[in-house]
Amino acid sequence: MFNNTFGNLFRLTTFGESHGAAVGGVVDGFPAGIEIDTAFVQEELNRRRPGQSKITTARKEADEVEFLSGIFEGRSTGCPIGFIVRNTNQHSSDYENLRNVFRPSHADYTYTTKYGIRDHRGGGRSSARETISRCVGGALAKLALRQLGITVTAYTSQVGGIKLDFPYPHYDLSIAEQNAVRCPDPEKAKEMEALITRIKGEGDTIGGVISCVIKGCPPALGQPAFGKLHAALGGAMLSINAVKGFEYGEGFGGMELTGSQQNDIFYNRDGHIDTRTNHSGGIQGGISNGQDIYFRVAFKPVATVLMEQETVDTEGNDTHVTARGRHDPCVLPRAVPVVEAMAAMTLLDYYLINKTTHI
Q: What is the DSSP string of 240-300?
A: STTEEEEEETTGGGGGGS-HHHH---EEEETTEEEES--TTTTEETTEE-SSPEEEEEEEP
pLDDT at res. 59: 63
CATH of the domain at 273: 3.60.150.10
Boundaries of domain holding 68? 5-356
pLDDT at res. 94: 65
pLDDT at res. 93: 61
pLDDT at res. 323: 79
Residues 6+ apart with CB under 8 A from 232: 222, 346, 349, 350
pLDDT at res. 80: 98
pTM of the predicted model, to two decimals? 0.94
The total of structural domains in the chain comes to 1
From first to last of its 359 residues, what are the pLDDT tens digits of the chain? 778 999 999 999 999 988 888 999 999 999 999 999 999 999 999 999 877 777 876 666 789 999 999 999 999 999 999 999 998 866 556 667 778 888 888 888 998 889 888 877 767 788 888 999 999 999 999 999 999 999 999 999 999 999 999 999 999 999 999 999 999 999 999 999 999 999 999 999 999 999 999 999 999 999 999 999 999 999 999 999 999 999 999 999 999 999 999 999 999 999 989 999 999 999 999 999 999 999 999 999 998 888 889 999 888 999 998 877 677 899 999 999 999 999 999 999 999 999 987 55
Distances (CA, A) of 312 to 127, 193, 315, 317, 321: 21, 34, 8, 5, 9
d(CA 268, CA 278): 15
pLDDT at res. 347: 98
DSSP per residue, 307-318: SEEEEEBTTS-E
